[in-house]
Structure 1
Amino acid sequence: MEQETSTQLPAATARPALYATLLRRIGGPLLSVGLLCLALWALHAMASEVTYRQIAGYVHSLHDGDIALAVLFTAAGYAVMTLYDWFGLASIGRRLPAKRVSLISFISYAFSNALGMSLLVSGSIRYRFYVQAGLSTGEVGRVVLYTTLSFWLGLAALTGVTLLLVPIPGDIPFAGLRIPLAIVLTLVPLGWIGLSLAMRRPLRIGRWSMMAPAPVAAVRQVLVGALDWGLAAGVLYVLMPEAIVGGFGHFLAIFVLAQMAGLISHVPGGLGVFEAVMLAGFGASGNQGLEGPILGALAAYRAVYYLLPLAMATLMVIWREVRALRHATVVSPWFSAVLPPFFAGLTLVCGAVLLFSGATLAIPGRMDILRGFVPLPLVEAAHFLSSVVGMLLLILARGLQRRLDAAYVLTLVLLVLGAVFSLLKGIDYEEASLLCLLALALAPAHRHFYRRASLFRATFSPGWMLAIAAVFGCATWLVFFSFKHVEYTNNLWWEFSFRHGGAPRALRALVGAAAVVMLFALANLIRPERPRRDRPDDAELARAMPLLKGFDSAQAHLALVGDKSLMFAPDDRAFIMYDIEGRSWVAMGDPVGDDEDARRELVWSFREACERAGGWPLFYQVRPADLDLYLEVGMSLLKIGEEARVRLETFNLDGKSKKTLRGTVNKLARDGLRLEMVPEDQVPALLPRLKAISDAWMRDKKVREKRFSLGRFDEAYLSRMPMAVVWQGDEPVAFANMFLTTSKEEASVDLMRHLPEGPAGIMDFLFIELMVWAKAEGYRWFNLGMAPLSGLTNRRAAPLWSRFGAMVFGRGERFYNFRGLHRYKDKFDPEWEPRYIAVGKGIAVPLALANVASLISGGLGGVVRR
């Protein structure tokens, strides 16, 4: 509506924000890859005398009692991890069903521990669960902050106390800093507890404020975190060889240092970094000759503490999916939302297992069995193809996270093929069981993978590229480590043998995996990029007309302005209208159309188009009914105001509260004012007379035409819809173009302009007469438009954006009449419904909002001018 405007945001400098974003997105992953390469080089140097057979032999020699004790400690550790979420929810005064919290905590921590990809998988699971359970984005953030603090406070406390009490070998780098490091780490949790005792008011640092927890809660955070890390150390300790020098205290000192190094590196799961520090620590403390058993213990630790919980989580998914097949109402929406990222993470693990298996030596006894009934060419082909399948699974995992139907089908096929190849290449029934287990879990979940978009259109974030690079890098290292006793020759590539063909098979498999990822990258590079589209022509507007007329929101008529590009779904089942300002691709409103599948797919397609172009996806003025469309693709939501909608069924001018409006309408009717609805075919002839009214109104208000979320006086635009005209005698004195839906769900107006010298109260007269007319025509709602920043709270616990918006709403009258606009619309007794902006995570929100303001105002200059 014409009275609306954008929040007046200061213009931001784009270049520094762009550089900061690039550094944040690319710098971290590049550093992690560098640290991984350094760790693998260190492992190779420290284990130069160790053979793969020694490591495998130690794993097979572990006692059943030690393995059972390690499993028991693992179960206890994951039970303790659920306390992070329990106490985090308690800290914000929220309680949720115990079964849900325990299940989601177990699944999310199984992934974050194994993959170190909390933002990609675990974070996505936790965010969607808590939002769908009724928590606000701010509350979710506070829970995540609580759990993260507990995690690090516990690690700092355990590391600091251990280093104070237990000396570490002098040959370890920075060993001379043991006491200073221990003091600093110990002071961190002590300082946190002291802060909780001393601080009674929020601590303010610039624009940020933080309230310390109660002393009991602070102590609880430290103790839970320390217990979690202590149990994790216990799992590895019972698997270590008995001949290691030193007791549990000595072991714990090296363990916590290795874990801290792995976490700081940001390498997925600390893979390679953790092992390198552990081997260096024990190698420097009199354990020479035990490198093989120590690496074997570390491999067993990875299997028990990381892979076993993943397998258990998979069984839970299978169980719930089977129940879903029998009873469609069993699986709740929050659990359905976490399945795609869950399967994506597990597919990533299975791909890594196949690549690691292809890079190592097969068990000789099993190869002897194969030799009796499987031809050598079939074994060679199976070994090569299993690594190819592994790399394809790494790539398809991203497609599963994006809910692609093609990725689902191909993943199922490749999991079955991978299981067959695992058996044919070395009777690796453990790998085959894992792949079959995932295939069984994935098979009944087809309904969660509904997108029929191309695999080659999926974008890969830096985190995903880092994960794939890390897995491939580790597989490469494993090849050279496992077969370092084999002297390299050019003829090695063409050797085929049951007994001595391990190294050639591993090399060929590694090249096959590399070829897959290079071909996929090349296909993405040479695919035709869809250029930025021009403004819609008459043919495109004609395609959009049936969709916007049948849509339940009259706002869809803004597509007819012609200043926004249109993105259509296949078969014209839905469309999105959008424009681009800077890096921001801003869609106006929700996808338009009645086909929910097409609307959902359009949101995915729009986001992926933005990512391919390096842009930021935004959806402006979205409705509560469609919020799941944006949460599903990982976008965040910010409330930007409330929309006033009058329920016409109960609308009338009776009662004391309507006395003023009733008097205004009656007086102007006696003065000869009348409303006429002019059909669209008669509007062009009337436009010259209405143009004079529009020009006079703009001169009086000292404003210029807006755009994007508002229409403008344009003959082509105004001729596409009916016009409401207020006449005084034979002269028009006011007008408004009408947005009318064929379903009669909603009626609204866009431009509302009147002669400055016209009768007082003419806009009230126009609104009232339009509502009376719409009610008589059978419309359910009359939309009065949005009141920017209305309904935002300024409470201490509210998000920063909400508090800022509430402050501007209350004190920003010198810039824009926020309160006045809300009061004007409120006198018609509307129902206020929140409106949001959906933004992609990790984007510069202030700059994106400035881009939106620039779009509406017609440029940055219009942001600061009327």
Structure 2
Amino acid sequence: MDTRTSNSDRPISRGERWGPKLLWLRQVVDSDAFRISFAVLVFAAALGVLRQELQGQNFDSIARAFGSVSSTALLLAAGATVASYACLAVSERWALAAIGRSLSPLRIALATFVSYALSNGLGFSAATGGAARLRFYRAWGLSLAEVTAVTLLAGAAVTLGGVVCAGMAILLIPGAAPILAWIGALAIVPTTFWLLRPPRRTALLPGVEFTRPGPALRFSAIAAGIADWVFSGLALYILLPAPTFADFAPFMVIFVLGSLVSAASGLPGGIGVFDAILLSLSHRFGATHENVAALLLYRLIYVVGPLALTALGLAGYQLRRLDRAATTTGFRIAEAIAPAILATLVFCFGAALLLAAANLPMPLPPPEPWMAALPSRPLATSLLGALLVIVAMALWRRLEAGFYATFALLSLGAAMELWRGFGVATAGPLLVLAAALALSRRAFDRQSAGFHHVISPAWLAAAGLAGVSSLVLALATRDVRALADQPWWRWLRPGGDFGVAAVAAGLASLGLLIAIWWLASPSPREPRRPSKDEMARAARIVDAASGISCDALLYRMGDKSFVFSPSGLSFVMFRAYHGRWIAMGDPVGPPGDRSAAIEAFIAAADAADAKAVFYAVEAASLPTLLAAGLSAQKIGESGSVDLAHFDLKGKAHEDLRHALNSASRSHLRFDVLAADAPTTPWHDLEAVSDSWLDAHAGVEKTFSLGSFDVGYLRQFPIAVLRRGEQVVAFANVMITPDRARFGPDLVRADADAPHGTTDALLGHLILWGKAQQLGVFELGMAPLSGLPLNAVAPISTHVEAWIFRTANSLYGFQGLREYKEKFTPTWRDIFLAADPDVNPLIALSDVALLTSGGARKLLHRPRRSRR
């Protein structure tokens, strides 16, 4: 129920001036275009540094340095990698013990290896590692909050270990400047607090307590964090041409710096960023070509190796399970994490080709005559690298086009390696990866634009662009063969030695990649508005349901899509917004079918590459939502009045009695018109609605509130207050089929109506419901009220409480709560449940924008005051 009070004329506040800008900025930063653009800019900067570092180098010298690394050094680097992952498992064990959980060493080692293999390869370690942990630990009995706590604690131990390791390395550098010594000492200070005796029990997250691990376990956690950094740095240092013990300390400072900066960049595995920092700061440890060879080997051993082992493990597991039921826990875990691992490996191959093509001022060795037709020149290498990056992104999003394109490229690559005569040594990894991909086919279940919407205008445009671009590129490189000696983006700038032909080749390459990008992108699957059959199906479910809220009747607006449970006994209504499917309220239907409806909605959102969000759900749905992997947060309270105990007597209802008496003295007459009654004065109701809109926010609402639409309002009884025959206020009355709950949706009064008219209308409606022996009068939600502000409340909850206190002029949060208090309601908690990757504040702003029809309408102010 929307009962906002009007505001008097006043200057536009700073919040109103900046509100639209901040909402626009939030949408920009949250968009895929911004994230991709930022990553491209960081990657381009890294490429510039790498190009400068590699100036004057040649492939022969790098190849010789690559081959000069001894087998002993390779074995030691592999051993250091194993030791590094073992240290990470120790930190993981401490994190589990800190929340009072214990698992077998084998399970801890498996979860640690897979989660860090993903985070090292993909970047965003908290998100990617946390997602992998979630798959394992939820299957082993941990709650979502416990998995989050383990991710945070283990990450804190490892990060602190890196800072302390860098500080110790600085102190071990002989002759370091005093300022560096002070920095090193400060970096070690946090270990003191780590080893201090903590309180016996401390609330860490809602539902999770930090127990007090013993001193030995605390010491082993920080020691393991430091040792992890030492071993991971050692895995690279051993591969340098002439490693010495004296140079290891300064090398570790550079290594930790490069690792932290590359992690902050967000690029998968810090590709390019880590390498640029290490190469630019490591001249004292070896020649550039030797450092390049060491970095390449390190990437293969420490990043690609664990990912490849994980992929092989997944392939073996799924091969073993082919003749068994595909519903086992292990199979679900394998199917869930396979796309991320395979996408990372393909992305690494593509990024390596882009790096090679971008940093080739160095001359290539002349190809053998029989290899002249193979794509070994920079133009082909850069196109193939960009193509692999595109299909890797499609794999990451579990798109079927990514699966087929990657399988074709891997198979073609393996065939070419065999044709070149390099044999199984080089074709084998490609074939193994292709086999792992084939065994994970079921995981790539999302539709792609290239396979669906065929012969649509967009599909024809993309296919035509790909064909024309390929033709132009072939003609340009045939006429000017030297174009193949540079990557495609070098020809996009005008001028140069080859003029128009170069620009045409560059534009054709870009056009080809754009076309392939679109064909491999998710199929446009915006949820459609419900059909007449679906509306009728939803109506039957609502009519048969019991214990539902009045919000369930919002399905009649027809502005929301439906997802029905497999049994067809319940449904979830929702709207899509910016990659999120936002459900309005609890599932509608029998309580026993609630879990199936929630799972069906989450699965449908996932299949559409969207995140699931449930807005304004009650506590009864929380166990099922949490069990489905969503996180929940209180966002307000909903008030209701039990009519069995309601009485106008007493001081608590003095204001309400006064409003009813004042309406009687003003000769206002209350009546309830039946749904779609022929005598309903729709013209008069519309005039009252227009007057109310003119004095208030000036726009109709949708999604979580009703709007003045005659087709919608005809489905409800209409409560009216009249002066004579003139309607001065009205409300449509929602009554659940079991008559257990009822309440107003659209409450509007003429701007010239007497003061207290709305109070009188609601008071009469309560008395009418009591006479009709209805159950509970629903006052609706008071957003952001009653939030728990304690030491363990999430940051977003504190932000929401601040909005409740300070943004009253924008919406009237406090005024709405105070207005509803005059009815002495009973308040119950209302929650938002969302995918763990969705920020609750962003989800709430999405709901506000959906309800108001956009940022401009959300922040629209009254044109004038009428009271």
TM-score of the two chains, using structure 1 as the length reference: 0.65
| Offset, 1:40 | 1.3
1:751 partner amino acid: D
Q: Where does residue 235 of structure 2 map in the other structure?
A: 235
Q: Where does residue 549 of structure 1 map in the other structure?
A: 539
Separation of aligned partners in 2, 1:633 and 1:262: 35
What residue ranges of structure 2 are gaps of 5+ in the alignment? 6-13, 203-209, 454-478, 486-503, 543-547, 589-595, 651-669, 748-756
| Offset, 1:55 | 2.8
Using the TM superposition, name which of 449-458 and 588-597 deviates more: 588-597
2:233 partner amino acid: A
Q: Where does residue 499 of structure 1 map in the other structure?
A: none
| Offset, 1:190 | 1.0
Per-residue deviation, residues 198-222 of structure 1 (Å, max 9, x unmatched): 999999xxxxxxx999995875554
Per-residue deviation, residues 786-843 of structure 1 (Å, max 9, x unmatched): 564477433311202334557888999952327966996649xx9x774446797579
Alignment of 1:270-281 (within 5 A): 270-272=270-272, 274-275=274-275
Q: Where does residue 190 of structure 1 map in the other structure?
A: 189
| Offset, 1:425 | 3.5
Separation of aligned partners in 1, 2:773 and 2:409: 61
C-alpha change, 1:749 and 1:239, in structure 2 (3 Å) is same
Contact 1:154 1:225 in 2 (8 A): yes
Higher relative contact order (CA 8 A, sep 6+): 1
Per-residue deviation, residues 724-780 of structure 1 (Å, max 9, x unmatched): 87999xx99997544768xx99986653779865896852662795757x9xxxxxx
Alignment of 1:249-264 (within 5 A): 249-264=246-261
Q: Where does residue 43 of structure 1 map in the other structure?
A: 53
Q: Of 512, 525, 541, which aligns to 1:519?
A: 512
Alignment of 1:406-425 (within 5 A): 406-425=401-420
Separation of aligned partners in 2, 1:809 and 1:388: 53
Separation of aligned partners in 1, 2:363 and 2:422: 9
Contact 1:591 1:602 in 2 (8 A): no
Separation of aligned partners in 1, 2:341 and 2:624: 19
C-alpha change, 1:398 and 1:737, in structure 2 (3 Å) is farther
Q: Where does residue 817 of structure 2 map in the other structure?
A: 817
> What's the secondary structure of 1:815's corresponding residue?
helix
C-alpha change, 1:808 and 1:378, in structure 2 (3 Å) is closer
C-alpha change, 1:821 and 1:707, in structure 2 (3 Å) is farther
Q: Where does residue 171 of structure 1 map in the other structure?
A: none
2:53 partner amino acid: L
Q: Where does residue 427 of structure 1 map in the other structure?
A: 422
C-alpha change, 1:704 and 1:129, in structure 2 (3 Å) is farther
Residue 683 in structure 1 maps to residue 677 in structure 2: yes
C-alpha change, 1:784 and 1:678, in structure 2 (3 Å) is same
Contact 1:121 1:345 in 2 (8 A): no
C-alpha change, 1:759 and 1:442, in structure 2 (3 Å) is closer
> What's the secondary structure of 2:189's corresponding residue?
helix
Contact 1:154 1:223 in 2 (8 A): yes
2:189 partner amino acid: L
Q: Where does residue 68 of structure 1 map in the other structure?
A: 75
Alignment of 1:61-210 (within 5 A): 62-63=70-71, 65-93=72-100, 100-118=107-125, 121-122=128-129, 124-126=131-133, 143-167=150-174, 178-191=177-190, 193-194=192-193, 197=196
| Offset, 1:184 | 0.7
Separation of aligned partners in 1, 2:699 and 2:614: 22
Q: Where does residue 391 of structure 2 map in the other structure?
A: 396
C-alpha change, 1:18 and 1:734, in structure 2 (3 Å) is closer
2:554 partner amino acid: L
C-alpha change, 1:768 and 1:57, in structure 2 (3 Å) is farther
Separation of aligned partners in 1, 2:514 and 2:312: 34
Contact 1:113 1:306 in 2 (8 A): yes
Contact 1:114 1:307 in 2 (8 A): yes
C-alpha change, 1:182 and 1:2, in structure 2 (3 Å) is same
Per-residue deviation, residues 617-636 of structure 1 (Å, max 9, x unmatched): 97643689999999999997
| Offset, 1:154 | 1.9
- C-alpha root-mean-square deviation of aligned residues, in Å? 6.5
Contact 1:84 1:150 in 2 (8 A): yes
Contact 1:348 1:394 in 2 (8 A): yes
| Offset, 1:314 | 0.9
Per-residue deviation, residues 367-401 of structure 1 (Å, max 9, x unmatched): 99xx9xxx768756999989866543321222222
Contact 1:643 1:834 in 2 (8 A): no
Separation of aligned partners in 1, 2:771 and 2:101: 45
What residue ranges of structure 1 are gaps of 5+ in the alignment? 169-176, 204-210, 459-488, 496-510, 609-615, 647-651, 665-674, 775-781
Per-residue deviation, residues 236-274 of structure 1 (Å, max 9, x unmatched): 344444xx2x62241342243134135314354344555
C-alpha change, 1:808 and 1:356, in structure 2 (3 Å) is closer
Separation of aligned partners in 2, 1:344 and 1:663: 69
Contact 2:132 2:337 in 1 (8 A): yes
User: How many residues are aligned here?
Assistant: 734
C-alpha change, 1:392 and 1:600, in structure 2 (3 Å) is farther
| Offset, 1:85 | 3.3
> What's the secondary structure of 1:683's corresponding residue?
coil
| Offset, 1:588 | 5.8
Contact 2:164 2:187 in 1 (8 A): yes
| Offset, 1:80 | 1.1
Q: Of 291, 310, 314, which aligns to 2:311?
A: 314
2:745 partner amino acid: L
Q: Where does residue 751 of structure 1 map in the other structure?
A: 745
Per-residue deviation, residues 542-595 of structure 1 (Å, max 9, x unmatched): 476236435667746535447x587999xxx99976598xx9999562799999
| Offset, 1:76 | 1.7
Residue 303 in structure 1 maps to residue 297 in structure 2: no
> What's the secondary structure of 1:621's corresponding residue?
strand
Contact 1:336 1:448 in 2 (8 A): yes
Contact 1:561 1:717 in 2 (8 A): yes
Alignment of 1:216-231 (within 5 A): 222-231=222-231
Separation of aligned partners in 2, 1:493 and 1:693: 71
Contact 1:389 1:418 in 2 (8 A): no
Aligned-residue sequence identity (percent) comes to 25
Q: Where does residue 802 of structure 1 map in the other structure?
A: 797
C-alpha change, 1:822 and 1:706, in structure 2 (3 Å) is farther
> What's the secondary structure of 1:707's corresponding residue?
coil
Contact 2:120 2:269 in 1 (8 A): yes
Q: Of 303, 307, 325, which aligns to 1:327?
A: 325
C-alpha change, 1:91 and 1:706, in structure 2 (3 Å) is farther
Q: Of 15, 18, 40, which aligns to 2:21?
A: 15
Q: Where does residue 269 of structure 2 map in the other structure?
A: 269
Per-residue deviation, residues 22-60 of structure 1 (Å, max 9, x unmatched): 68847853552244124313431474696243134224x
C-alpha change, 1:102 and 1:758, in structure 2 (3 Å) is same
Contact 1:391 1:516 in 2 (8 A): no
1:44 partner amino acid: L
Separation of aligned partners in 2, 1:807 and 1:494: 59
| Offset, 1:313 | 0.9
